[in-house]
Structure 1
């Protein structure tokens, strides 16, 4: 009992790994707990002082709890040691006058620009902390950047025919309007809302607003409604 307690206490005050801490935790539970149980059962028969027994139980309990907490911290350190932080953008100093340029990790950027990621160049440039034109130049230089997927005319026609659009039929003009917003000028504070009549395909309204909120669109709809 004394040796088990002594070894476990020594390990607790060392920078031990999780496996070693687990071994001594299980060893302490297997060796010390049965002895404490036996002391408790025969305390009255063997004239064992109850305060002394309670003190022993508290000391052993604190030891086991300390070993468990140390094991959890060791596991956390082990997981953190497996993490590798990639620096996708870094400053490249050429030893010349002027501001140094920024270089990017080609592998990281290529993976980020994969089609299934759905990350725009603008968003990626903001994340990397580089200018958008700079990022585009770097992507083009490494053969990563492409605006559109390469498709032949026949492939494009096949895809177009595969799209089944639901026909929308109405009984009369102005029975149904379609509304859409043009947000290419959002950076300058302009959002354009357009209204088209479904029957005649006539543009029934255009309005420039400062936002794309539902209340703004509803206000534009009420302005052009007949």
Structure 2
């Protein structure tokens, strides 16, 4: 298969430029080929760019300018500025359907008063499947919260949580019920 049968190089270069929001998958569907095939041809013809083409000097100048204007602000703000200037691109968050991936986290700002808040959110529709204020941060408490959500919404295909000890029992439950070697429980930062 040669390149012209897939799509013209000039057109494709504009479609996959970092400022555009069309994914390779969507473009491949439009072209009638697999996304890996499209990506291979884009790389072969020098059209594919994973990141924005900003020179190191310009990048350094952008960061220095921002930091000199607002020296007390941190990395998150610098990243926001870089995204606004399209120096770096934000990855798109995508979950195929409801109950595919749930996110779990705890909030410990009220621990001084004996309150820990745990929440579970469906990654597809951002529905809060469970939110609870507890008096402790034990794994058994978090598992009970999770099981209440499972009874109401059904078990998720995958679960994501941080590396805290409170998530151990949920990870064991997910692996027992969904299996190994399929990212049943994904540990985040």
TM more than 0.5: no
Bigger Rg over Cα = 1
TM-score interval for Structure 1 and Structure 2 normalised by the shorter chain: 0.3 to 0.5
Higher relative contact order (CA 8 A, sep 6+): 2
Output the TM-score relative to the length of structure 1: 0.35
Output the TM-score relative to the length of structure 2: 0.40
Pick the structure with more helix per residue.
1
